[in-house]
Amino acid sequence: MSGWIIKGLKSGVVSTHYPDGGENAQGVSPGLPSPAGGVGVDTPIGRCPTSALKAKDGGAALDKFRCVHCHRCDRNVEPTIPWDSSYEWAEKRGKTPELPKAFQRSTHIRVLDAGDCGACLNEMKLLNNPFYNMHRLGFFITPTPRQADLLVVLGPVADHMKTALLKAYEAMPAPKKVMSVGTCSATGGVFEDGFMTSTKLEDIIPVDVVVPGCPPPPLAILHGLLLVTGREDEIRSDATARPAADSSGKEAGDA
Amino acid sequence: MPNDTIIFASIFGGCALGALLATVLKGKAMRVAWAGFGCLASIAMLALGVGGVFAESARHIPLWTVPHVGPVSFSVDHLSGFFLIVTALVAIPAMIFAAATTSDEKARKTPLAPLSLVLLASVALVILAADVFLFIVAWEVMSILIYLLACGGPKERPGYLMLAVGETGTLAVLVALLLLGSHAGSLSFQAIQASSAGLSATLVEVVFALTFLGFGVKAGLIPLNFWLPEAYTAIPSPIMPFVAGATLNLGLYGIMRSNMYFLPTTFAGPGVCMLLVGAVTALIGILYATIADDFKTLLAHSSIENAGIITTAFGAGMIFLSAGHKAAAAMALIAALYHLLNHSIFKTLLFMGAGTLERSANTRSLDEMGGLLKRMPWTGLFVLVGALSISAMPPFNGFVSEWLTIESLLRSVELSSMGLKMVFVAAGAAIMLTAGLAVTCFVRAFAMSFLGISRSEKAANASETNRAALSTMAAVAVICFVLGVVPTFAIPALDRVVAPVAGASGSTALVPTFFHPDTDKLPKKFTAEFHDLGAQIGKDAIPARGMVVMHRGGKKNPVVFAMSTPYMFVMLVVLLAALVLIVRLATKNRKVSRRPRWDGGVRRFLPEMTYTATGFAQPVRVLFEAIFRPKVSDRRESIAQHFRMSIQRKREEIHLIDRLILYPLAKATKAVAAVFAKMHNGRINAYAVYALLALIIFLAIAAAL
Ligand code: SF4
């Protein structure tokens, strides 16, 4: 009966140190082609299926809100494109006021699947597991928007989910925040010109934070959550990271 | 006495004249005659009843002598006085309600007014009858009138069923009363009562079994209560409040009359039987009430439940009496009578509400109602009062009587027999479970009809009923409230009814010894306040009777239980007001924003998507699956065996009694009939043989004699 208690005590703390330190366990991020490393002139821009790569200054620039980590740009190219295996991709948008102090450390989230393929939802779900454990940071999932402070939208907002999205946003009491998770809800992603989507999330309701990635790894979502609740100062990625094996991140996104 | 003449003339003459006028007149005049003469008769009954309860001894009024039968007479004693009061309290508002809600068309189709007035007179006759002949005649008249009322509906089955089962009961009662009469050598109740002490144990058992079974039919006790839900739904709703409030009582009247007066109170057997049957009836009744979809069926099952509770309390009283615990007996009997009174009142109210709902929303199905509070606020308020009363919530009357019932069941610790104690424990557990389920049942009944959104077109177009009907409901609701807040006024009157039988006053005997007026440890002025069950604490503050109901246990558990509904009511008001005030203050600076309801984000929100009555009862269905034993059958439709198009699930609940008793009985009867059917083979020579055989047998018998 008490076997699981003893096992639990033996294994100690397995949760990630993030945001107290960086996390470099293997496979925590699929990574992005790094523009900082300089995407070469001979980068095959045309290969990119989502037009994430654009010609710029004779080289190429990456729109990280479009990249789906497919590695097509990276295949059989010399020299290889530098790959950034970080995960702090979220960016703030909009100028809605910060959440009041009382809500920042206890935030209730309504997750709205607006037609996602299941990948983002899966990563969202991982935040509940012992490794990412978002409860330790005061994030909770709630089924009803009436109790939610934050609306997390996944997927390209299919036409059929638009009503539901608007209703959920309407039903939330102020102060409320919206976070867009995944390439699809940021730009439409691979569904951009699809027959069942007409516009991206930011055109429908005001968005506060956008998390790119297809799907964004749990840590990227966690980063977004910290940004959207105004808790950037808690993130200390520069602190000592947990020692881990070399993370290439490549295997996660290998097509 | 001229007084009696006037009263009896008002009761029976009033009903007859009213019935006559109501047949002749039409429209408004008919209504006025109906309500007016109904009220006149009821008020006369009230006067007679009050006189009976407060008189020192029973009053016998010989009428005339019927050839071959003997003298017939009326009598008014404490018990019949009490039942007259209950009937009158129910009849006054119920008759006005009936007159106010019967449509002209309905009145033309069924002669509701004359039937109901004659029914009122027959109820009075049953209560007043003081000999077997008159009693049985009155009983039969009443049964036939209810049958006629039940036949007014579209179906014939409920009426026939009721009559068939009812006649079985009447026969049993008749046999029992004749047995008693032959023992006493007279058919008058007075003689039967006088000779009760000399009954042999076997005769007591037989008479008890027959009367309990026979009167139990009318009271709705198991096993012969399956007619009740069907008949209650078939009887037209204007007259239903009266039928529910007044006629179910008569079964209990019969049980009480025979056990308190006709049979010696020295045997524990009848009490144990009543206790157990009552508890089981209560539990089964409330279980089926909780899952019923039809509002009237729900109320019918709840009547069964309440009859069970009353019988339990009464049985407990009889057990205490046989064991010599007079004070406890008095208290249990008071609880039984008080619950009977309360049940009549709130069931009348609830049936008025159900009738109004049926008329306005044009449906009886709870699944099809919803959201009616917005359209029928007053009806909603009164039904809420009824629902709170019946689920034993303070400050309404159901709370007091159920509290007294459960307290008196707890007094069983004083009994010496271990077996009896176990019986009490079982019955007490069943009654408490019943009380809990009753809350579920009536939360469901009220919420599913009045709250939420309308789940059907009919409910969405409902409108409030007329003023006269509303004011009768208001009057009954007020009675519920008054009986719940100042029970200390009613209890001494009930004490007068039970004290002669119990041999002790439930009031005085139950005051804690250290407060007893005879004690010299406390100042006389102080102890003077404690001289009955309604202890007079606070007499100086409020110039009325005492406001605390208190009683103590016996030597073995000298605990004092006290309850004060008036103070509780005051506290409730104060606390609620304080709560409202605090919330107001705390949220004074709060901004309120209103948004549409959260419906899960569906495109079109349909009423059927909300919680239905069936859904609300599902937990109870699942918990008590072992009792309900539903028959679930699935029908699957598929194309080419692989592509499932639909699954239809049908769920059928056959009532426990039907399943365990009636169906096997019917099967056995059919099997016997099948054997006899073989004799009817249609061959003429076979019939000739039968005739010949019959002749030979006859001749043989004749020769032998
Ligand atoms: S990884 Fe794929 S999606 Fe991302 S930039 Fe390269 S080609 Fe485009």
Per-run averaged pLDDT (10 residues), chain B, 705 residues: 77 90 87 92 93 87 80 89 95 93 82 91 93 92 90 77 90 94 89 87 92 93 88 90 92 93 88 94 94 93 95 94 86 92 95 93 89 92 95 90 87 85 93 94 94 88 89 94 85 84 68 55 62 49 55 60 78 95 91 84 84 89 89 86 85 86 92 88 86 94 88
Scan for tokens 């009806």, then name that residue. Answer: B379
Interface contact flag, A164 B595, Cβ < 8 Å: no
Shortest-distance atom of ligand 1 to CA A81 = 6
From the list A146, A163, A174, the residue facing B598 with the nearest CB is: A146
Nearest to A38 by CA among A88, A83, A89, A70: A83
Q: What is the pLDDT of residue A217?
A: 93
Q: What is the pLDDT of residue B386?
A: 95
| A43, A51, A71, best to mutate for ligand 1 pocket (most atoms within 8 Å of CB) | A71
Q: Which residue of chain B is at minimal alpha-carbon distance from A173?
A: B593
Q: Which residue of chain A is at minimal alpha-carbon distance from B604?
A: A163
What's the gap in Å between the CA of B585 and the closest CA on chain A?
22
Q: What is the pLDDT of residue A37?
A: 46
Q: In a 3-state reduction of DSSP, which class is residue B444?
A: helix
Query: Kind and range of the H or E element at B637?
Result: strand B631-639
Chain B, residues 596-615, CB within 8 A of chain A, namely: 596, 598-603
Best residue in A144, A157, A167 to probe B by mutation, most B CBs within 10 Å? A167
Nearest to B147 by CA among B227, B83, B71: B227
Per-chain mean pLDDT for chain A:
84
Confirm or reject contact between A170 and chain B (CB < 8 A).
Answer: yes
The angle at the Cα of B431, spanning B563 to B571, to the nearest 5 degrees, equals: 25
Nearest to B478 by CA among B570, B605, B345: B345
Residue A54 alpha carbon to ligand 1 centre in Å:
11
A230 phi/psi in degrees, rounded to 5: 70, 35
Scan for tokens 């009977």, then name that residue. Answer: B340
Residue type, A163: T
Alpha helix positions (H), B55-102: 78-101
Residue A165 alpha carbon to ligand 1 centre in Å:
29
Interface contact flag, B603 A165, Cβ < 8 Å: no
Q: What is the pLDDT of residue B645?
A: 86
Task: Take atom 7 of ligand 1 and give the residue whose Cα is closest.
Answer: A48
Confidence of residue A28 (pLDDT cuts 50, 70, 90): confident
User: Does ligand 1 have an atom closer than 6 angstroms to the CB of A47?
Assistant: yes
Confirm or reject contact between A205 and chain B (CB < 8 A).
Answer: no
Nearest to A225 by CA among A145, A85, A122, A108: A108
Residue type, B398: G
Longest CA pairwise span in chain A (Å) = 66
Scan for tokens 């978002």, then name that residue. Answer: A134
In whole angstroms, give the CA distance from residue B361 to residue B294: 13
What's the gap in Å between the CA of B649 and the closest CA on chain A?
30
- CB neighbours (10 Å) of residue A160? 11
Peptide bond into A79 cis (omega under 30): yes
| A72, A74, A77, A187, best to mutate for ligand 1 pocket (most atoms within 8 Å of CB) | A72
From the list A144, A163, A174, the residue facing B598 with the nearest CB is: A144
Residue A32 alpha carbon to ligand 1 centre in Å:
8
The angle at the Cα of B490, spanning B487 to B496, to the nearest 5 degrees, equals: 140
Confirm or reject contact between B592 and chain A (CB < 8 A).
Answer: no
| A50, A63, A76, A214, best to mutate for ligand 1 pocket (most atoms within 8 Å of CB) | A50
Is there a contact between B219 and B300 (Cβ–Cβ < 8 Å)? no
Q: What is the pLDDT of residue B534?
A: 45
pTM, entire model: 0.83
Task: Take atom 2 of ligand 1 and give the residue whose Cα is closest.
Answer: A70
In whole angstroms, give the CA distance from residue A57 to residue A41: 9
Domain ranges within chain B, ordered by starting residue: 1-192, 506-567, 611-652, 662-704
Q: Is pLDDT larger for residue A106 or for residue A1?
A: A106
In whole angstroms, give the CA distance from residue A162 to residue A238: 40
